[in-house]
A and B are shown apart, each in its own frame.
Chain A
Amino acid sequence: MTMTLDKATGSAPAAPAPARRRHTGRDRTHHLRITLPLVVFLVLTLVPFYWMILYAFRPRGSNSLLPVPFTLDNFVYVWNTVGYDVYFRNSVIVALISMALTTVVSVAGGYAIARYRFAGRPALMVALLCTQFIPGAMLLIPLYSIFNSLGLVNNLWSLIIANVVFELPLTVILMSSFIQKIPFELEEAAMVDGCSRLRGFLAVILPQLRPALVAIGSFTFIGAWNSFLFALMFLSTQELFTIPVGLSYTVGEDSINYGVMAAGGLVAAVPVVVIFGFIQKFLVQGISGAVKG
């Protein structure tokens, strides 16, 4: 675990075969091998983003390739008139609750799987893995009926539950392999000191799990933020729309008002891209930690 944390600071020799830049020949191959393809990747990744930003900030009718002159009209329209203020609030609610529930439930479940031996454990693991083959889109119809009979259609809870259910299996598996890597001796020592198991867990395990919690939490936040088909099916009224649903209607109805479409897209993109920027390193480490078991 500590090893993984060290890596996160970037000080470890991560590159297996670092090119030492001593000779100009080496320099050239370095550029050819790394700089050139990297620039190509960067351009291909960023041009679509730039295009959206350009249209979002450029006044209607301008053909400049720079967002100059600059306008916020599209954002004002999207936020106040189209209703992105409401969509945004709904998305935040859904993503936060989905994240919190998924994390709490996966920590509990992951701990049980990692620390206990019980009848049915292997079967449970197989079942969790099998859920990965279940297409969410294809359960739309029965899920709709279930939520309908629970009175949760056109209610954000239906969306939250669906998000949690479809994120859970993977997060539980990841969480259990994280917990497994924490030496049991640490907990034992705490219990010898007179702590209850729960206290031992809170005092010893939880702090160690911080990178895992960041990885899993942000993973589910982004997943819930982006969740579209369930939201489209379960939510009927504009007051409850989340950003992806609102965006899909913007695409459908304002598809000629490019600035509005781009501004809506930017509102949808900024939170996840910012979060991603912060956690990207953790994500790589988090997956790596889980994968290595």
Chain B
Amino acid sequence: MNALATTSARPGAARRRRRRGLTPWLLLSPIVVLISVFMAYPIINVLYTSFFHKNVVMPWNDGFAGLDNYRRMFFDDPTFWPSLGVTGRWVLVQVTCQLVVGLVLALIVNERFRARGPARALVFSPWAISGVLTTSIWLLLYNPSTGIITVLEKFGVSSVGFAPLADVDTAFWAAALAELWRGIPFFAILLLAEVQSIPHELYEAASVDGASRWRRFWHVTLPHLRNVIILSTLLRGVWEFNNVDLLYTLTNGGPGTSTTTLPLYVAQVATISSDFGYGSALTTVAFVILLVLSILYLRLSRLGKD
């Protein structure tokens, strides 16, 4: 993850690089073309469209809108502000829990024990599962007539007919749990790679000093993981912010708007209402929020410094 920070750190190799003018750009041309056409241009397009009325269902209404879309968003839309709150909560819960539990998991499977390989593969496997598939699995689990609840009822642990996704108070947490199920392995894999690269001598030195396991974790492991944690939490935060697949299929934002995140709301506006102008304005705002928060986070965490 800190590949970026180190790519230019090998002056010896760099000096020997050829300075042929066009070759590198020739090699990079597919990337440059793809990213400008399918990323840069769309972003500019979104910005532009956000100042227009554009709704395929009501073509007579199309035209320049000025700041109408933004006015509607900030003052007239009962969904926008709550969706921001839900997004914030979602990102915070996901990143924190995934990081903490992922780290614990990484440390556990880094220890030596019998059948470590298969055990790792098993606990990491939800990493490869898509949001939609996670939905179909957890729908089965949460459904009051098919779910794990039918078993819990028998032992009297749960009340009859309890439906976690149908309750405004529990739906958010039920969805969060499903996402954690496949999100924790992401951090665990990333952190395990990093934990394995900690020089053994560091631990030995600490052991000689008689440091407790906890102190070794605190003074050796954690500092070593610092940069990776900063970068991976940032990337994961952005990713969870933008994560639509699971919520779109599991709760579709409900009950009410209790699980409607901003990107999910954008997807709904785009696919159900076909209101592209307003959807673009929402997108622009989400993008600005994400960019500002990311820069702030990198500044505050002082990446790469001690």
Contacts and interface: CB of A to CB of B under 8 A. Distances in A.
B34 A115 contact: no
Contacts of B112: 14-15, 18-19
B146 A258 contact: yes
B270 interface: yes
Contacts of A111: 27
Interface string B119-146: 1111111111111110111111101001
Contact of A113 (B7, B105, B136): B7
A40 to B, nearest CB: 10
Given A15-B112, A37-B108, A48-B137, A141 B46 contact: yes
B119 A272 contact: no
Nearest to B193: A288
A16 interface: yes
- At the interface, is chain A mostly helix, strand, loop or mixed? helix
A226 B7 CA distance: 31
Interface of B: 1-10, 13-14, 16-21, 23-25, 27-28, 30-32, 34-35, 37-39, 41-43, 45-46, 49, 104-105, 108-113, 116-117, 119-133, 135-141, 143, 146-148, 151, 181, 189-190, 192-198, 200, 203, 207, 213, 216, 221, 228, 235, 238, 241-242, 244-245, 248-249, 263, 266-267, 270-271, 276, 279-280, 283, 286-287, 290-291, 294
A168 B121 CA distance: 26
A115 B113 CA distance: 42
Q: Which of B113, B139, B207 has the most CB of A within 10 A?
A: B113
- At the interface, is chain B mostly helix, strand, loop or mixed? helix
A109 B293 CA distance: 30
A228 B148 contact: no
A224 B227 CA distance: 29
B270 A112 contact: no
Contacts of A35: 113
A292 B6 CA distance: 8
Interface of A: 7, 10, 13-19, 30, 33-35, 37-38, 41-42, 44-49, 51-52, 55, 65, 105-106, 108-109, 111-118, 121-122, 124-125, 127-129, 131-143, 145-146, 161-162, 164-165, 168-169, 172-174, 176-177, 180, 184, 188, 222, 225-229, 232-233, 244, 247-248, 250-251, 255, 258, 261-262, 264-265, 268-269, 272-273, 275-277, 280-281, 283-285, 287-288, 290-293
Contact of A105 (B23, B30, B110, B266): B30
Contact of B31 (A105, A122, A288): A105
8 tightest A-B CB contacts, nearest first:
A226-B130, A288-B193, A293-B6, A142-B42, A177-B3, A116-B24, A135-B242, A112-B27
Given A34-B111, A38-B108, A293 B123 contact: no
B194 A229 contact: no
Contact of B280 (A18, A124, A141, A180): A141
Nearest to A285: B193
10 contacts: A33-B111, A127-B35, A133-B287, A135-B283, A142-B49, A146-B38, A169-B35, A228-B248, A262-B136, A288-B193
Contact of A228 (B16, B23, B245): B245
A293 B130 contact: no
A244 B224 CA distance: 38
Contacts of A222: 128
B199 to A, nearest CB: 9
